[in-house]
């Protein structure tokens, strides 16, 4: 049984259908890369998973249990199990790094402050920011801020980490330091859904690639298969365009 099972999910913004029956599976410890053209619905899939957009139909199961997104309690519960990191890292500008990472676990999750702070220091060391515990966001580079955002998500101890183009707002020379962190997490067995346009990285780190187009999954399989020998014309065209860059 996959750890996360998404079946035939339909979602709309108003009358505009943006997901038209999306299905995908993620096993424990697996890294699934979600790729596809702009507007194909990648971010929307992640938003649905964490309950930011209620699906119209279809089902999501985590650990075999169906999630009812109409229930506020179940949405809260699901946000205990999945954490999302966005392209724009959205750190609290008026709080130092430690407080950014510890705030939600202490205030919202009501976990023990000492335990959370110990975990936060360990996580910040792990993302290479052990020296920056008391820096404020505006004293950090974009890459450092994004690594704080990843540490903040990890402090929630998620079962599944959702990463939405976490390197695309960064200057090119800062991309690698963030990819290094993701690479380490993958090696340690973190379950992840990774939306990314960095195809070389996707090839290296993903166990499976899921390609979306127009609100649907059009191909999925191992990176070598999807990136090198796509079956659909649409995927060939897409990879032809981006792999040339
Ligand atoms: N808040 C919103 N309100 C209305 N429509 C939206 C909203 N967010 C996204 N959409 C629409 O939903 C569709 C899917 O958007 P989504 O952000 O999921 O695409 P994406 O694959 O993540 O694209 P990108 O690669 O550009 O990030 C698009 O047509 C978009 O215009
Ligand atoms: Mg997006």
Within 8 A by CB and 6+ apart from 127, the residues are: 147, 148, 150, 151, 181
Q: Among the atoms of ligand 1, which is closest to the Cα of residue 37?
A: 25
Whether 42 lines ligand 1, by a CB cut-off of 6 Å, is yes
Two structure tokens written together for 143: 């890459």
Position 245 scores a pLDDT of 52
Whether 39 lines ligand 1, by a CB cut-off of 6 Å, is yes
* CATH code assigned at 52: 3.40.50.300
Whether 41 lines ligand 1, by a CB cut-off of 6 Å, is yes
**Mean of per-residue pLDDT scores for the chain:** 94
Rounded to an integer, the average pLDDT of 57-77 is: 96
Nearest one of 100, 157, 171 to 129, comparing CA atoms: 100
Distance 16 CA to ligand 2 centre (A): 16
Distance 144 CA to ligand 1 centre (A): 27
Distance 58 CA to ligand 1 centre (A): 19
- pTM higher than 0.85, yes or no? yes
pLDDT of residue 244 exceeding 70, the answer is no
Q: Among the atoms of ligand 1, which is closest to the Cα of residue 212?
A: 21
Distance 156 CA to ligand 2 centre (A): 23
Backbone phi and psi for residue 28, each to the nearest 5 degrees, phi listed first? -60, 130
Whether 217 lines ligand 1, by a CB cut-off of 6 Å, is no
Whether 38 lines ligand 1, by a CB cut-off of 6 Å, is yes
Counting residues of the chain whose pLDDT is more than 70, the rounded percentage is 99
pLDDT of residue 115 exceeding 60, the answer is yes
Domain that holds residue 22: 4-243
Question: If you take atom 31 of ligand 1, which residue's CA is the nearest one?
Answer: 39
First-to-last CA distance in the chain? 38
Question: If you take atom 3 of ligand 1, which residue's CA is the nearest one?
Answer: 13
Number of domains in the chain: 1
pLDDT of residue 133 exceeding 70, the answer is yes
> Strand, helix or coil at 85?
strand
C-alpha to C-alpha distance for 186 and 164, rounded to whole angstroms:
16
Position 169 scores a pLDDT of 86
C-alpha to C-alpha distance for 161 and 199, rounded to whole angstroms:
19
C-alpha to C-alpha distance for 85 and 150, rounded to whole angstroms:
6
């Amino acid at each position: 049984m996959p750890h996360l099972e998404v079946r035939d999910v339909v979602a709309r913004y108003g009358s505009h259908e943006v997901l038209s029956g999306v299905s995908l599976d993620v096993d424990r410890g697996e890294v699934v890369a979600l790729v596809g053209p702009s507007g194909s619905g990648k971010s929307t899939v992640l938003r649905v998973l964490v309950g930011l957009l209620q699906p119209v139909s279809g089902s999501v199961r985590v650990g075999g249990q169906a999630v009812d997104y109409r229930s506020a309690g179940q949405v809260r519960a699901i946000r205990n199990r999945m954490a999302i990191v966005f392209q724009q890292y959205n750190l609290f500008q008026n709080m130092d790094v430690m407080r950014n990472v510890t705030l939600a676990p202490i205030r919202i999750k009501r976990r023990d402050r000492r335990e959370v702070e110990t975990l936060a220091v360990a996580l910040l060391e792990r993302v290479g920011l052990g020296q920056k515990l008391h820096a404020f966001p505006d004293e950090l580079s974009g890459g450092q801020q994004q690594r704080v955002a990843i540490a903040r998500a990890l402090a929630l101890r998620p079962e599944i980490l959702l990463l939405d183009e976490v390197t695309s707002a960064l200057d090119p020379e800062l991309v690698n330091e963030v990819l290094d962190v993701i690479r380490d997490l993958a090696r340690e067995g973190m379950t992840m859904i990774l939306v990314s346009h960095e195809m070389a990285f996707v090839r290296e780190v993903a166990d499976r690639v899921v390609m979306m187009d127009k609100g649907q999954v059009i191909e999925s399989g191992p990176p070598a298969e999807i990136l090198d020998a796509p079956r659909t014309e649409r995927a060939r065209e897409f990879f032809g365009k981006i792999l040339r860059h």
